[in-house]
Structure 1
Amino acid sequence: MIRKSTLDNGIRVVTEQVAGVHSATVGAWVETGSRHETPEQNGISHFVEHMLFKGTERRSAKDIAREIDSVGGVLNAFTGREFSCYYAKVLSPRLPLAIDLLADIALHSLFDLDELEKERKVILQEIYMVEDAPEDLVHDLFTQNFWPGHPLGRPILGSRESVGSLSRGDLVRFVEQRYRGGNILICAAGELEHERVLEQVGEFFAGLGGGVAPGLTQAPVCQRGVDIIEKDLEQVHLCLGSSALPQNHPDRFALHLLNNILGGSMSSRLFQSIREDLGLAYSTYSYLNCHSDTGSLVLYAGTSPEEARSVLHLMLKELRRLTTELVSEQELQATQEQLKGHLLLSLESTDNRMTRLARNELYLGKNPPLREVVQGFEKVTREDILRLGQSLFRDEQLHLQVVGKLPQADITPLDLTVG
């Protein structure tokens, strides 16, 4: 059973009682991410995430690690473009400890200067690691150049320059501005009672002020084009993408089905045509990168420089098929069953249930019953997939990001044409 309450300081609390499990996962979701940063602040949300594990008024960094380890639990966090999440998974009787830990790091972190400088070095190493990993780098560069000049296009980690210039005062002020009751969602799933969770959140988060931080900027405009970053690599890494839909769009079920047909699994068209039929790539896939008011659908492949143009043509061919041909009834039904299966299997984990609660609340403002979600996939028709493909895969919305060294003859022109 899913229940929702709101505390006096604006914190929303959503829980799901799950029968037959011994664990509980609780997450504190803060509506702050790289989208909420100025160019000078880029990376500050992620920097704050790191610093919240470096000691509070009551606990040192070692104490935080020791307490969660002593009960066999997991404490972790991640930062996205529109939110940051701090979560803990424990045996159900230890849920009060997990909530206490999350509240302590969110409300009482010290931002010690020595720890801050050490963590700055860690984050810079993280940035260098991405720069040295072309398959990671190409996705960041695609987003930057697809949504140029917009906060959604900036890297979550920030840049060397922005991370290097952030001060303790910058981080403290950012937390004071963004970590407010109206911007925080607490979700918990597992063996629990809603009233007890509500009571514990109310107790441990009592010191958090209310209010809501400034909202989102306007949606970005995508940029058609080709961007090539030359690196002396064995492979060329390609990201070809187009605009997609926001998270709450009525056609979101059709979008997930279309993506899965295109490149979301080993039986997908991209994998079968590029890897299995022709052996042109080891890794090729597609994925969705959807937000509150926009999105992108991105195709990726890593291939040899000599085969890069052929792989690009195959990508465009698969996009073209989705704008001109109905998918077969068999392919649609198989994909519907696959996504329903993934959904149902994911619900065996309290981690995934907690995440599902949060994402539904943040993007839909509600948690639809599981049957409603299953029916959403079942109602999608072949015509819906075709209509969506024709809407999304238009020449003016295509962008290609390349990392690697192309043969000189292949650099221009790289023709991006679906129609």
Structure 2
Amino acid sequence: MTGQAPRVALICAIAFSIVNLKAADRPQSKPTPSAAAKNREQSNWLTFPPSSAKKFVLPDGLTIIVQEDRSAPVASVQAWCATGSIVEDEKLGAGLSHILEHMLFKGTKTQKANDIAQKVQDVGGYINAYTSFDRTVFWIDVPKDGVESALAVLSDAMMNSTLPPEEYNKEQEVIRREFAMNVDDPDRMLSLLLFATAYQKHPYRLPVIGEMEIYNQLTQEQVMQYYKTRYVPNNLTFIVVGDVDAEKIHQQLADYFKNYPGKALKPVFVPNEPPQLGRREVHNEFATELSRLSIAWHIPEITHPDVPALDLLAGILGDGRSSRLYRRVREQTGLAYGVSAFSYTPGDPGLFGVDATVDPKKRDEAQKLILQMIDEIKQAGVTADELVKAQKMSLAHHFDALTTMRGQASDIGSNWLLTRNLDFSRHYLIAVQKVTLADIRRVAAKYLVDQNLTVASLNPKGSVGPKQEASKPPAAAEIQNFELSNGLRLLVREDARLPLVSITAVFRSGLLAETSETKSKRSAVRFPAKPGTTA
């Protein structure tokens, strides 16, 4: 779950079959005093019925999930492909998933881009898509009479897109403009800097859109190969929520996909991020008048039992004007123009962090105060009122997200993609209500530690450079680590005591990498020494 600022208004009456709030029944046996207090607390918890969504799996592996909701004569039709930027394998960092998001509605074997757009418009629909680290999602919101057409459009795009070269060239320029917009956006650039610093091995270190240098090397043929490899029935999930008949949806998709067999999916190795063993800090310059500061710690993935407490801690720290950070860092001390906290927990371990916009001269002081406030929570915890408020706001945020068909479909899709459990949101919201004051203090002490800390900032031109230039050169014992754009890692230690340079190249190889064919060749692979050197 993410700790973005949820809306304050609690949606008290949700007319969805997915959410049915009721008070938990009290036990019949006579409780002890302590048990009575616990039971009174639990009686105020909201409980949720199991998901009523219907799931079908076709012989080719295509998954279909339908939630019938007749509260309005509309529906959201979504196609989820379990592919995103972290599974681009040998083209990691190229943005293959993102460019396919742009291209799949640009023409199929039987329809041109204009034909697709016209079909959606004719039934009063709205079409869009997005790409993330682990998914690419295409969706059409339509009146209920347009569901059949929406399913046909999405099915055709998933299986029969041709990625027309002329359209590909146009979209390449569109995406290059996206790159340019990102480069001009200090908030976006700070986010990229934070992830590139916090993650050293995991592909979360790379932007979803890709890196321009690698993206520019892509060809239409390479993108088509990726499409044929990843867009197969057994890697797709269709989700439909709204005023629909689940059996009719099932039958229509079964009829369409009967000619498309499932295919073997090549396993993609996604490296785990190793534990961080020391603070990482980077302060760069940017064309901005104010400094942007991000402070973050590694935390577990979404299914970990500590996540509800971490999400609530983010709300207590930085959600709204009554939050701790806002009142103290902005209002009382005036050290920041804006400050917030987040808990980002995707399918793999995520980040807990604090963002602040500050005067460059006050950045260090603001950072010091934020870390001091984190330490205060680790030592003294939070108040009961703060916890209750955060719990209510978390529930409100999730209920608010379910007030549209698209919101319900997104919730179902995330549940299934990340956990293969349609009731995950239900279990999560119950867990949120069970979080205690001790849990908040425990997770703060466990994860928000200095060795797990990453600090990144973007600052006005000239506010960082002079300080760096005046600093002393690295001592002989200090090693500088550089990673070039082609992936080559360079370790440099400056030592001016002698006019000599020593260079060593190390390759991942050796006995463990040998095969029966290459074993006999090992001794022959030697570089001859030249005069004045050693081999």
For the residue of structure 2 that corresponds to 1:90, the secondary structure is strand
For residues 62-97 of structure 1, the C-alpha deviation after alignment (integer angstroms, 9 at most, x for no partner) is: 222222222221111100001111111111121111
Return the offset for 1:396: 0.8
After TM superposition, the structure 1 stretch with the greater mean CA deviation from structure 2, 324-333 or 193-202, is: 193-202
Which residue does the alignment assign to 2:75? 24
Return the offset for 1:175: 1.1
Which residue does the alignment assign to 1:184? 236
Q: C-alpha separation between the residues in 2 aligned to 1:278 and 1:63?
A: 58
Return the offset for 1:232: 3.7
Q: C-alpha separation between the residues in 2 aligned to 1:261 and 1:136?
A: 24
Q: C-alpha separation between the residues in 1 aligned to 2:83 and 2:91?
A: 16
Q: Which amino acid aligns with 2:316?
A: I
For residues 208-234 of structure 1, the C-alpha deviation after alignment (integer angstroms, 9 at most, x for no partner) is: 431334245132136541112222420
TM-score normalised by length of structure 2:
0.73
Q: C-alpha separation between the residues in 1 aligned to 2:81 and 2:138?
A: 8
Q: C-alpha separation between the residues in 2 aligned to 1:169 and 1:92?
A: 38
Q: How does 1:164-183 map to 2 (within 5 A)?
A: 164-183=216-235
Q: Which amino acid aligns with 1:366?
A: N
Q: C-alpha separation between the residues in 2 aligned to 1:75 and 1:376?
A: 35
Change beyond 3 A, Cα 1:206–1:322: farther
Change beyond 3 A, Cα 1:410–1:191: farther
Which residue does the alignment assign to 1:95? 147
Change beyond 3 A, Cα 1:407–1:27: same
Counterpart contact for 1:34–1:45, Cα < 8 Å: yes
Which residue does the alignment assign to 1:212? 265
Q: What is the aligned counterpart of 1:150 among 202, 207, 220? A: 202
Return the offset for 1:144: 1.3
- Structure (1/2) with the larger helix percentage: 1
Return the offset for 1:407: 5.2
Q: How does 1:321-360 map to 2 (within 5 A)?
A: 321-360=376-415
Q: C-alpha separation between the residues in 1 aligned to 2:275 and 2:115?
A: 46
For residues 355-385 of structure 1, the C-alpha deviation after alignment (integer angstroms, 9 at most, x for no partner) is: 1001111122112176544322111101011
Q: C-alpha separation between the residues in 1 aligned to 2:410 and 2:325?
A: 29
1:252 paired with 2:307, answer: yes
Q: How does 1:4-403 map to 2 (within 5 A)?
A: 4-38=55-89, 40-42=91-93, 43-210=95-262, 211-221=264-274, 223=276, 224-368=279-423, 372-403=427-458
Return the offset for 1:52: 0.8
Q: C-alpha separation between the residues in 1 aligned to 2:319 and 2:92?
A: 34
Return the offset for 1:20: 1.2
Unaligned runs of 5+ in 1: 414-419
Q: Which amino acid aligns with 2:439?
A: D
Q: C-alpha separation between the residues in 1 aligned to 2:360 and 2:90?
A: 34
Return the offset for 1:19: 3.3
Q: C-alpha separation between the residues in 2 aligned to 1:282 and 1:147?
A: 28
Counterpart contact for 1:51–1:119, Cα < 8 Å: yes
Counterpart contact for 2:89–2:268, Cα < 8 Å: no
Change beyond 3 A, Cα 1:266–1:23: farther
Counterpart contact for 1:247–1:290, Cα < 8 Å: yes
Q: C-alpha separation between the residues in 2 aligned to 1:269 and 1:189?
A: 39
Counterpart contact for 1:28–1:85, Cα < 8 Å: yes
Unaligned runs of 5+ in 2: 1-51, 473-535
Counterpart contact for 2:302–2:347, Cα < 8 Å: yes
Counterpart contact for 1:181–1:209, Cα < 8 Å: yes
Change beyond 3 A, Cα 1:209–1:236: farther
Q: Which amino acid aligns with 1:214?
A: P
For the residue of structure 2 that corresponds to 1:202, the secondary structure is helix
Change beyond 3 A, Cα 1:358–1:370: closer
Return the offset for 1:298: 2.2
Q: C-alpha separation between the residues in 2 aligned to 1:227 and 1:213?
A: 37
Change beyond 3 A, Cα 1:65–1:345: same
Counterpart contact for 1:245–1:290, Cα < 8 Å: yes
Q: C-alpha separation between the residues in 1 aligned to 2:321 and 2:189?
A: 23
Q: Which amino acid aligns with 1:137?
A: M
Q: C-alpha separation between the residues in 1 aligned to 2:433 and 2:334?
A: 34
For the residue of structure 1 that corresponds to 2:281, the secondary structure is strand
After TM superposition, the structure 1 stretch with the greater mean CA deviation from structure 2, 137-146 or 38-47, is: 38-47
For the residue of structure 2 that corresponds to 1:171, the secondary structure is helix
Q: C-alpha separation between the residues in 1 aligned to 2:357 and 2:316?
A: 20
Return the offset for 1:40: 3.8
Q: C-alpha separation between the residues in 2 aligned to 1:209 and 1:323?
A: 54
Q: C-alpha separation between the residues in 1 aligned to 2:425 and 2:89?
A: 38
Q: Percent identity of the aligned residues?
A: 27
Return the offset for 1:205: 3.4
Q: Cα RMSD (Å) of the superposition?
A: 2.1
Counterpart contact for 2:411–2:425, Cα < 8 Å: no
Q: Which amino acid aligns with 2:408?
A: R
After TM superposition, the structure 1 stretch with the greater mean CA deviation from structure 2, 355-364 or 248-257, is: 248-257
Return the offset for 1:335: 0.9
Q: C-alpha separation between the residues in 2 aligned to 1:26 and 1:380?
A: 35
For residues 13-68 of structure 1, the C-alpha deviation after alignment (integer angstroms, 9 at most, x for no partner) is: 11211231221112111111111124644211101111112111222212222222
Counterpart contact for 1:124–1:163, Cα < 8 Å: no
Counterpart contact for 1:35–1:216, Cα < 8 Å: no
Change beyond 3 A, Cα 1:293–1:232: closer
For the residue of structure 2 that corresponds to 1:25, the secondary structure is strand
Q: C-alpha separation between the residues in 2 aligned to 1:205 and 1:291?
A: 30
After TM superposition, the structure 1 stretch with the greater mean CA deviation from structure 2, 60-69 or 232-241, is: 60-69
Q: C-alpha separation between the residues in 1 aligned to 2:189 and 2:134?
A: 20
Q: Which amino acid aligns with 2:282?
A: D
Q: C-alpha separation between the residues in 2 aligned to 1:44 and 1:369?
A: 30
Counterpart contact for 1:38–1:151, Cα < 8 Å: no
